[in-house]
């Protein structure tokens, strides 16, 4: 493997001597445990939005407050991923996965127990933030456990199942949220408790060893990356609400990028860096990261844009919109298994080349059908777009982790997940702006063509803008809005305008996958095999680590 600093001292002899410590981990049980754990993080990315109207009504939250209930989780999730990955290596993957799970599930229970009253908004936002921190610690550690437990020749299929099943649960969030909310919206948080109990029980049953790398934690670097990621993601998240012309938007985005640049400079000089940046010298690793970046600009935002499109343009209910997403995930889940097999047999390059090409074509064909306003005409192309992402996601992620320096699996999974979340934030911000601008112009033109005054036309466009931002709790305009006073023909025109605006966004998503396809061509095509995979470094110098294994 790359990054080796020459012959290494023998491994530390600190492994426990009792016989149980020598037992091999139960691979299938370990995989199931980690999938149960990360299932909570995927579901929580989408489940809260469905319950938003009920939460607002019962707790008397403001629209901006509710937006922060959603954003607080995503913000801390993105900001703390790199630190979570590094802590996973230093303190052990199993240990940090359990700590992250406990932080996550306790925060979930407290979110569900929020008291009514003046402090409800602060309470809910605060514990949603700690939920994100727990998820940021749990996910890289869980992924690193799977990587460490499975030998490299079987790792592709294992991670394909991990990403395929866990990723598909993102679509389950809206369905589960809609069903649980009929009982009480608090159940969307409480449902994590039994899932966490199962994950913890399986983790102990799997006999996973807790492998540590005894070296100092780069807390200064951690502070820089948390501040840099937090500021820049905050600016991207709030760009639609604050406006791209707002000084606050650019102070956050540019300020965050400056801090991240300082982080890179600091890490290059640090003896024990939070992130070993020399891993980017491996061309295959850099290509994997680039492919993940551009493909995730489409993968995560497509949930949001498809759901809103289905409710506004197709007049679907929230649950029907969630079912629409299952077509995308049907393609994703099937192709992810094929992608894992391709990775194990031929390496990552064929899988990511095929996936990026299919994704670009699928999103482009899907975009072309959006204006038909027919689910029947769209589902094959939604499935094709999902298949493209399915083919590339596990191979690109697995290949990147396989190329980690000194088996720093937690650190590299932290890098890949940070890149994925950052790309998703950029995609949501940029595509959201494109959608809002295009839709507003088309709706205004349609309404003015029907004799609606300029002021009423702009007011009608704002009604749809509320649906885009997720603040509207109904798919039909409110009774006193300008849209509600229009005839059904005008509303049909507006739905078509919204579909045409989404069409532009989906073509942009196809473009992002096309860029990912071009990047994939630079992958050298080399493979990491069981013989070439480097054992954990055990030196004590700047590039070395001290490894210890314990139950």
Q: What is the DSSP string of 307-342?
A: HHHHHHTS---HHHHHHHHHHHHHHHHHHHHHHHHH
Measured CA angle at 483 (ends 478, 484), to 5 deg: 50
pLDDT for res 412: 86
Q: Output the six-digit token pair for 247.
A: 């000084």
- Give the mean model confidence (pLDDT) for residues 187-211: 90
What band does 119 get if pLDDT is binned at 50, 70 and 90?
Answer: confident
pLDDT for res 201: 95
Sign of CA pseudo-dihedral 365, 367, 372, 378:
positive
Length of the chain: 551
According to DSSP, the residues that pair with 213 across neighbouring strands are: 547
pLDDT for res 155: 83
Cβ contact 6:134 at 8 Å: no
CA distance 230 to 253: 9
pLDDT for res 14: 37
pLDDT for res 487: 53
The more confident residue out of 198 and 71 is 198
pLDDT for res 63: 67
Least confident of 6-15, 91-100, 146-155, 342-351: 6-15
Percent of the chain scored above 70 by pLDDT? 82
pLDDT for res 473: 39
CA distance 166 to 230: 25
CA distance 400 to 294: 15
pLDDT for res 6: 37
pLDDT for res 239: 84
The more confident residue out of 384 and 116 is 384
pLDDT for res 181: 77
pLDDT for res 227: 94
Average pLDDT score, the chain: 81
Across 307-439, the runs of DSSP E, i.e. the strands, are none
The more confident residue out of 164 and 91 is 91
pLDDT in tens, 406-458: 768 788 888 888 898 889 888 888 888 888 888 888 877 877 777 777 777 77
CA distance 224 to 413: 19
pLDDT of 486 over the 60 cut: no
- Give the mean model confidence (pLDDT) for residues 270-284: 88
pTM, two decimal places: 0.80
pLDDT in tens, 445-479: 877 777 777 777 777 676 655 555 444 433 344 44
pLDDT for res 385: 96
pLDDT in tens, 59-117: 888 766 777 887 888 889 888 988 998 898 888 999 999 999 999 999 999 999 999 88
7-16, 197-206, 325-334, range with greatest mean pLDDT:
197-206
Sign of CA pseudo-dihedral 519, 524, 526, 532:
negative
pLDDT for res 82: 87
The more confident residue out of 130 and 78 is 130
What band does 223 get if pLDDT is binned at 50, 70 and 90?
Answer: very high
The more confident residue out of 212 and 467 is 212
CA distance 324 to 243: 31
CA distance 95 to 549: 12
pLDDT in tens, 501-538: 999 999 999 999 999 999 999 999 888 765 544 443 33
């Amino acid at each position: 493997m790359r990054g080796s600093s020459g012959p290494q001292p023998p491994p530390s002899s600190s492994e426990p001597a009792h016989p149980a410590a020598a037992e091999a981990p139960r691979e299938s049980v370990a995989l199931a445990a980690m999938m149960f754990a990360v299932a909570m993080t995927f579901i929580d990315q989408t489940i809260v939005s469905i319950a938003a109207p009920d939460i607002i009504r019962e707790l008397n939250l403001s629209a901006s407050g509710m937006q922060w209930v959603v954003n607080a989780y995503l913000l801390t999730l993105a900001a703390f991923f790199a630190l979570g990955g590094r802590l996973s290596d230093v303190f052990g993957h199993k240990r940090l996965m359990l700590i992250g799970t406990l932080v996550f599930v306790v925060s979930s229970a407290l979110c569900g127990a929020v008291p009514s009253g003046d402090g409800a908004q602060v309470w809910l936002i605060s514990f949603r933030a700690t939920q994100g921190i727990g998820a940021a610690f749990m996910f890289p550690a869980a992924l690193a456990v799977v990587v460490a437990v499975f030998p490299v020749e079987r790792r592709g299929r294992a991670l394909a199942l991990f990403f395929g099943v866990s990723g598909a649960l993102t679509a389950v969030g809206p369905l589960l949220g809609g069903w649980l909310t009929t009982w009480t919206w608090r159940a969307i948080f409480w449902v994590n408790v039994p899932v966490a109990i199962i994950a913890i029980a399986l983790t102990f049953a799997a006999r996973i060893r807790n492998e540590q790398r005894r070296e100092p934690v780069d807390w200064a670097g951690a502070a820089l990356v948390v501040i840099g990621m937090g500021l820049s993601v905050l600016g991207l998240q709030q760009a639609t609400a604050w406006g791209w012309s707002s000084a606050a938007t650019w102070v956050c985005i540019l300020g965050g990028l400056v801090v991240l640049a300082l982080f890179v400079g600091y890490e290059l000089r640090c003896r024990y860096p939070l992130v070993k940046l020399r891993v980017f010298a491996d061309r295959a690793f850099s290509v994997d990261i680039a492919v993940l970046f551009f493909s995730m600009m489409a993968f995560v935002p497509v949930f949001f844009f498809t759901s809103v499109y289905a409710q506004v343009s197709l007049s679907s209910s929230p649950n029907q919109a969630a079912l629409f997403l299952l077509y995308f995930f049907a393609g994703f889940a099937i192709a992810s298994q094929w992608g894992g097999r391709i990775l194990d047999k031929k390496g990552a390059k064929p899988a990511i080349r095929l996936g990026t090409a299919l994704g670009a074509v699928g999103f482009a064909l899907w975009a072309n059908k959006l204006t038909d306003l027919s689910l029947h005409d769209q589902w094959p192309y939604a499935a094709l777009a999902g298949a493209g992402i399915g083919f590339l996601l596990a191979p690109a992620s697995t290949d990147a982790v396989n190329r980690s320096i000194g088996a720093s699996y937690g650190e590299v999974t932290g890098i890949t997940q940070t890149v994925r979340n950052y790309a998703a934030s950029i995609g949501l911000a940029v595509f959201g702006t494109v959608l809002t601008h295009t839709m507003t112009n088309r709706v205004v033109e349609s309404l003015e063509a029907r004799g609606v005054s300029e002021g009423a036309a702009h007011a009608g466009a704002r009604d749809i803008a509320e649906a885009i931002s997720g603040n509207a709790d109904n798919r039909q305009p409110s009774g006193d809005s300008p849209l509600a006073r229009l005839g059904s023909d005008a509303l049909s025109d507006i739905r078509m305008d919204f579909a045409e605006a989404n069409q532009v966004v989906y073509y942009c998503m196809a473009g992002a996958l096309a860029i990912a396809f071009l990047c994939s061509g630079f992958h050298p095509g080399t493979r990491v095999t069981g013989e070439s995979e480097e054992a954990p470094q055990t030196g004590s110098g700047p590039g070395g680590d001290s490894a210890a294994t314990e139950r």
